[in-house]
Amino acid sequence: MERNYGWVIVGAGALITCLAMGAMFALPVYLQPMADETGWTRAGISGAMTIGFIVMGVAGFLWGTLTDRIGARPVVLIAAVTLGLGLFIASRANDLLVFQIAYGGLVGASGGAFFAPLMATVIGWFDKHRSLAVSLVSLGGGVAPMVITPLATVLIEQMGWRNAMMTTALVATVLILPTAMLIRRPPASADGPAESGAAPAPATRPSIASVFRKPQFIVLAGVFFLCCAAHSGPIFHTVSYAMLCGASALAAASIYSVEGVAGLFGRLVFGVLADRLGVKRVIVGGLVLQAVGIYTYIYVGELTQFYMLAMVLGLAYGGVMPLYAVLARDYFPAHVMGTVLGGITMTSSIGMAFGPVGGGWIFDTFGDYQWLYISSAGIGLAAALVALTFPRPSVPQEGQLQPA
């Protein structure tokens, strides 16, 4: 019965991820109304997200390492308050720098506290169906574009972007706090001691430097970096691009909803396939599909075509993203999962940071997004090539790292 509680953690993690990531990544729908009201450039507004990704990466590493020591619950509780505070200050900002600090600094710092801590906790609860469980947690990220993004669009139209962002801050914080109380440390498992309560750490804990020097970590982090660098720009600027092609604000935002639905199926399908065919094969295939989909953007101009492409990309990156955590568990023991996932989250966030500001710069310079999609597709193919170098996974013994 205790083991079955892992599915409660999965449900809580999915809801928390939906609320937190939905609130943070709704910035694209604010982009045009913010630029129209304030006169700030698209690159300047997008720069807040770039700062957010960098801060999220560094904070994710720190949050992940802290999770290995105190558990995910206190980490998520602190992050929920930080998220709400950052969004609230950003919604009241009259200066671009203040907005960038609030959104990029506070909201970004909170964003790093969800992926690594929640994934590390869920992984510890499952020996079987691990890929499926991790994928289900990430469903929250897939649901977020279906719920938070359209909701933010409606709120913007009804009350303006400032009040819409403030409302989102309050609702997300109020819902995340009680849900976080459901999170528990994993019970005793075959590969480690009990982690419920305040159990002591394993006697032989490898240093952070020794973890980061392993070739398995280097390849994993490199692929995650390139994967996120490839899709961050196209995802962030999709709404703006669709509106330039003639779509209304609400219709353009609904593209995210289609991506979200496709991402739900991608997480389920890729999770099941990874359990059966192997994580590496599924990741490589998903990365190739993502690169092809990104390149196709240069031929898209109608809303129906945006929807079709959103289905492909949502399936691809939605299915691939949670599998990095599963592969990490195949290489590293449970008691360093927070550190490992925090580390790869840091590199992926740095990759994500290039897309928003890079896409904004490309548009401000060339007047369109064509070079954004060409360059992003090339980065996506590079991610697939690097992924081919993944060594064969083998689960190491607790307290040990897999040899090079």
For residue 369, give the DSSP letter.
S
The answer to whether the CB of 381 falls within 8 A of the CB of 288 is yes
Which residue, among 216, 218, 222, 239, has the nearest Cα to 379 in the 3D structure?
Answer: 222
Q: Which residues of the chain have pLDDT under 70?
A: 1-3, 141-142, 145, 188-208, 392-404
Q: Is residue 198 part of a domain?
A: no
Q: Give the per-residue pLDDT at 205.
A: 57
Q: Is residue 227 part of a domain?
A: yes
Q: Is residue 320 part of a domain?
A: yes
Q: Give the per-residue pLDDT at 332.
A: 80
Q: Is residue 192 part of a domain?
A: no
What separation in angstroms does the CA of 14 have from each of 135, 139, 293, 383? 9, 6, 26, 27
The answer to whether the CB of 258 falls within 8 A of the CB of 314 is yes
Q: Is residue 188 part of a domain?
A: no
Q: Give the per-residue pLDDT at 197.
A: 38
Q: Give the per-residue pLDDT at 152.
A: 85
Q: Is residue 244 part of a domain?
A: yes
What separation in angstroms does the CA of 348 have from each of 16, 244, 287? 20, 29, 14
Q: How far apart are CA 145 and CA 245, in angstroms?
A: 21
The secondary structure of 163-212, three-state, reads: HHHHHHHHHHHHHHHHHHCCCCCCCCECCECCCCCCCCCCCCCCCHHHHH
Give me the CATH number covering residue 98: 1.20.1250.20
Q: How far apart are CA 31 and CA 36, in angstroms?
A: 9
Q: How far apart are the first and last CA of the chain?
A: 38
Q: Domain residues for 317? A: 3-183+209-387
Q: How far apart are CA 128 and CA 136, in angstroms?
A: 14
Residues 189-232: pLDDT tens digits? 434 443 433 344 444 556 667 777 788 888 888 998 999 889 88
**Domains identified in the chain, total number:** 1
DSSP of 64-81, one letter per residue? HHHHHHH-HHHHHHHHHH
Q: Is residue 57 part of a domain?
A: yes
Q: Is residue 392 part of a domain?
A: no
Q: Give the per-residue pLDDT at 31.
A: 82
